[in-house]
Each structure stands twice: as structure tokens, then as C-alpha cells.
Amino acid sequence: MSLTNGQNSGKADGTAITKKVEVLPYDPAWQDGFKALRQYLQSILFGQDVRVEHVGSTSVPGLAAKPIIDIDIVLQNGENFEAVKNALEANGYTHVGDLGITGREVFKYETKPQFMPHHLYALSDNSEELKRHLTFRDWLRSHPADKEAYARVKIAAARQFPNNIDGYIDAKSDIIFDIYQRCGLYQAQLLPELACSVVNNRYGLRVVKLNCKQMQPGISLCEAHTAQGAFYLLAWERAGFVSGEISVGQDTPELTTAHPLPTASGQTLCRTPFAAFALFGTEQDALTFLNCNLWQ
């Protein structure tokens, strides 16, 4: 399971490029923007067994959001993806693959000035990613306390990282994890899946290939080949440790050259409900950090 979609300035993970992070108060016009896009997409896909869902923050009445519509085209009853792809590409969209999130096909466009900026995805109706989109949306619609807390974090993150979409995404990850746990979305994952999600979403990198090996009981080292180069991720599985905490001492000489790389929002360590992570530029740095016994 992945956290969320992200795009950097000049780097798009959906169909609209975020050049500046701007979170605005809820605007009812976002619903109208979605309805116009739904009508357009339904006309393009006429005769195909699909439905069009409004997801993401703009789909939650009262929730502050970036003014970009997130749309899921849901392929029902085994509908042929190729037919959907061909219809969309004949009308100005370009299929760019899943961009690292299994079960979610991404479409970009160059310009559609008659519509609000939007991210467009195609997913099957039994997709785990679709379940995540709809469950999170419906939970926020029906739980105002979580909606308001999420809005506060989003606004603060946008103010802190107005020109850094990766920092913005990382800064709001903790509250997303909290809400995922309450709505039943966040469950224990296989380590490689979780590690890949962390490198993509918390560090703003794009994983191409990732391999993990166990170093000690409860501790693994993952080699992540990314579009930006090779990195090494130490993973501490919480169930394997009594303390449940990791400390980075400032007076540890070995850490002069082996300090973890910061997450996109500047955190030294990345914590999730089931594991914690530290990222390094070289395998030697990761091993030096591990041998300092800061994981205990």
C-alpha cells in the first residue's frame, strides 16, 4: 500500500504538474469542476463498462485542498483496459504507466483549458488502490474531527513547503497513517512493499528496483535502485524490538560520515506504524550506523 501520489516541480505523478504547493479553503466549485469532467469522460468512454469517481481532497466537502481534481475511472466487470486507454489517448490523454503504484494506471495531458487541472487514473473495480481512495474519501466525509485535523496539517505543510511537493507529502504522512489505522486501511505489509512506498513517498525518490536482506532479527537492509541513483535503507521492524524507539546520538563519532539522509520534510528517521527507516547514500554508511547499536 502506498501513501499518496506526489509530484515535484517539473515532475508529475498524475496529469497536472504541481509547480507551487497551494492549499485553499474548500470551494463548492470543485464539485462542478468534477461534474464537467465526468460528463466529458463518460462521453469519451460511451458504451464501456466504467464509472467515474471523484476522489482525493477536493471530493470531501469542507476539506481544504490543492485545487486539482483527482479522478478514478473504474473498470467494472473485467472491462478491457486497452479499450479505455485507446479512447482516452484519442482524446488528448497519454498513458504513462503506473508510476510505481501497482493497480493504478496514470494518464497525462498537455492542455485542457476548458476544465480544472486534474489527475486522471484508471483502476479495476477490485483494485486495492481503488479501495484505498474510496475508503479514505468516505471516512473523511463522515468523520469531521479527522477531516479538520487533516486540513490543519495540510495547510501547515503547504506553508512550510510552498515550493517542495515532496516535503509537503512527507510532512502530512503521519496523520495519514493515523487515519489509515482508524479506517482499517493500514495493516502490516511485506517489508519490500512498505520500503518501496517509504522511499517513493517519504524521500521523494522513484524506485526502479528494490531488494531487501535481513541483517539481524528485526533489522533489514534494502538496496533501492532509483531514478536518482542507488540508496540503502535500514528497516527496523517494530515487532522485533522491545524499546520501539531509535535514537540518533549527536556525540557518536562514527556518525560524522554515516548520518542518515533526511526525508523530504527534513526528518532524520522515518517512522510508520509497523517499521522505522533510515536512508543512506552508501552501503558502508548504513552498516556503520547499524554497528553503532542505535537501533536498540
pLDDT digits (tens, 9 = 90+) for 185-196: 876 667 888 898
* pLDDT for residue 271: 83
Report whether pLDDT(264) > 70: yes
State the pLDDT confidence band at 6, using cuts at 50, 70 and 90.
very low
* pLDDT for residue 13: 44
Pairing state between β 275-280 and 229-237: antiparallel
CB neighbours of 236 closer than 8 A, spacing ≥ 6?
Answer: 218, 219, 246, 275, 276, 277, 295
Q: H helices within 80-127, ranges in order?
A: 81-89
Average pLDDT, the chain: 86
pLDDT digits (tens, 9 = 90+) for 67-76: 999 999 999 9
Report whether pLDDT(247) > 70: no
DSSP state of 111: -
State the pLDDT confidence band at 291, using cuts at 50, 70 and 90.
confident
All three cell numbers of 6 = 506526489
State the pLDDT confidence band at 240, using cuts at 50, 70 and 90.
very low
Average pLDDT over residues 40-46: 97
State the pLDDT confidence band at 272, using cuts at 50, 70 and 90.
confident
CATH 3.30.200.20 matches 191-291: yes
The number of C-alpha atoms within 13 Å of 225 and in the hemisphere containing its C-beta is 4
Return the closest-CA partner of residue 89 out of 47, 124, 55, 122: 122
DSSP state of 10: T
Average pLDDT over residues 115-121: 97
Residue 118 bridge partners (DSSP): 69
What backbone phi and psi angles, to 5 degrees, belong to 99? 50, 40
pLDDT digits (tens, 9 = 90+) for 163-218: 999 999 999 988 998 899 899 887 666 788 889 889 988 998 989 899 999 998 88
CB neighbours of 204 closer than 8 A, spacing ≥ 6?
Answer: 6, 8, 166, 167, 169, 170, 264
CATH assignment, 29-182: 3.30.460.10
Average pLDDT over residues 15-27: 81
* pLDDT for residue 1: 37
Domain boundaries, the chain: 29-182, 191-291
* pLDDT for residue 255: 52
Q: What percent of the chain has pLDDT over 70?
A: 84
Q: Is residue 238 within 8 Å of 275, Cβ to Cβ?
A: yes
- Structure-model confidence comparison of residues 149 and 269, the more confident one: 149
d(CA 259, CA 250): 10
